[in-house]
Amino acid sequence: MQFNNFDSTTFLRDYWQKRPLLIRNPWQFWHNPLTPEDLAGLACEDHVESRLITQSSDDWNAEHGPLPETRFGELGNSPWTLLVQAVDQHVPDVAALIAPFRFVPNWRIDDVMVSYASDGGGVGPHFDHYDVFLVQGLGQRRWQIGGMCNDQTALRSHEDLLLLAKFEVMEEWVLNPGDMLYIPPGIAHNGVAIGPDCMTYSVGFRSPSRKELIGHWCDDLLPEMTDDDRYCDPDLTTQENPGEIPAAAIDRLHAMITEKLTDRAAFARWFGQYSSTPRYPDTDWRPEDPIETDHLRALLAENHPLLRNPASRFSFIRQDDSQLLLFIDGECFYCAGETSVLAEQLCARDRLTVDAGLRGSDDAVTLLAELYNRGNLSFDWS
């Protein structure tokens, strides 16, 4: 699926993280990539994250999956919504929905959450800390847009859902299949299904907070530090008041902290690994039969294309014109020369036919074999 009439440059300039935008059916052609029955089936799986939101009057209740198959037959006529996270990791046609949004860097893209709602179903007025594109798959949904929110915005008392205590509607649209709504971080919104069989695809983006970055970066630094790396003051002299912490001591103590935190190269490597960590790191995607480099080279020579695993995160940080660090699922691979060319190609597209020059490189084929055996790549046999 690709956009037919959408100017990403204008969008990034005028709307990205600035204001909502309704985009009426921008696709070359639209087809709903998942059936409601298949979505319900995913919600019953142990390894899939899902929630069932039911409504009673003006209250919402959340149940966490996996859900028993019999649960859907018990719902009755009250409004309800099924939410399933990271459906792109399980359904290739849903993963293909991400491709048109690659004008945003890989490391910023999170996952595709899919929701199904009965008539009147929704999750209530709320706001998110990240950007989201809401693509209508089936049926209709009315979206109401409110004002800007933050961590001081009043919320209802609810242990599972972050619902706004007050919600003032400023704009309102009804989305049909193929229509898309962009909502920046912090903007209040509320979606309500109109009629049966309402499916919405939420393409979400990662947006780490300062608190998150500092906390995780420090957690990563601590194991490298030793107890004997301590404050010292061999030039200590007597001072007029022993109760004072002098400026020189503060400067020295502060330097002990900042010297570690301001190492940009170390931070870049850490962030590449951190930002590429998969959403569900315990999932094992390794193939049953590992591949040898000779076999891999033979398959590449037959022009069998490689596919990136939709559950894997690929990104890189350039070091100079011929060297880069490739990050995949929390691991770092040093790439130079031909392997750096290969790494850039792997990060640029989901499907890759390796050219003859790279097929002849032992380093490139070795890297591909390792990524295949880790489950990051597979062959497209279609």
The tens digit of pLDDT for each residue in 225-276 reads: 999 999 999 999 999 999 999 999 999 999 999 998 999 999 999 999 999 9
In which region does residue 20 sit, left (phi positive, over 0), alpha (psi from -120 to 50) or beta (all else)? beta
Please report the pLDDT score of residue 52 as a whole number.
97
Residues facing residue 259 across a β-bridge:
none
Q: Is residue 218 a part of any domain in this protein?
A: no
Domain, as residue range, for 372: 293-379
H/E segment holding residue 84: strand 80-84
Nearest to 23 by CA among 184, 187, 181: 181
Q: Is residue 312 a part of any domain in this protein?
A: yes
Which of 163, 188, 205 is where one domain is finished? 205
Please report the pLDDT score of residue 158 as a whole number.
83
Q: Is residue 288 a part of any domain in this protein?
A: no
**pLDDT tens column, 53-74:** 998 877 889 999 999 999 998 9
DSSP string across 190-214: EEEEEEEEEEEEEEEE----HHHHH
Q: Is residue 271 a part of any domain in this protein?
A: no
Specify the number of domains making up the chain: 2
Q: What CATH number is given to the structural domain containing 349?
A: 3.40.366.30
Q: Is residue 253 a part of any domain in this protein?
A: no
Whether this prediction's pTM lies above 0.75 is answered by yes
Q: What CATH number is given to the structural domain containing 175?
A: 2.60.120.650
Which of 175, 205, 235 is where one domain is finished? 205
Q: Over its length of 382 residues, how does the chain's per-residue pLDDT go in tens digits?
A: 789 889 999 999 999 999 999 999 999 889 999 999 999 999 999 999 999 999 887 788 999 999 999 999 899 888 999 999 999 999 999 999 999 999 999 999 999 999 999 999 999 999 999 999 999 999 999 999 999 999 999 999 888 888 999 999 999 999 999 999 999 999 999 999 999 899 999 999 999 999 999 999 999 999 999 999 999 999 999 999 999 999 999 999 999 999 989 999 999 999 999 999 999 988 999 999 999 999 999 999 999 999 999 999 999 999 988 899 999 999 999 999 999 999 999 999 999 999 999 999 999 999 999 999 999 999 998 7
Q: Are residues 57 and 199 in the same domain?
A: yes
H/E segment holding residue 310: none
Contact 197, 176 (CB under 8 A): no
Q: Is residue 86 a part of any domain in this protein?
A: yes
Q: Using CA atoms, how far apart are residues 315 and 106, in angstroms rounded to an integer?
A: 6
Q: Is residue 52 a part of any domain in this protein?
A: yes
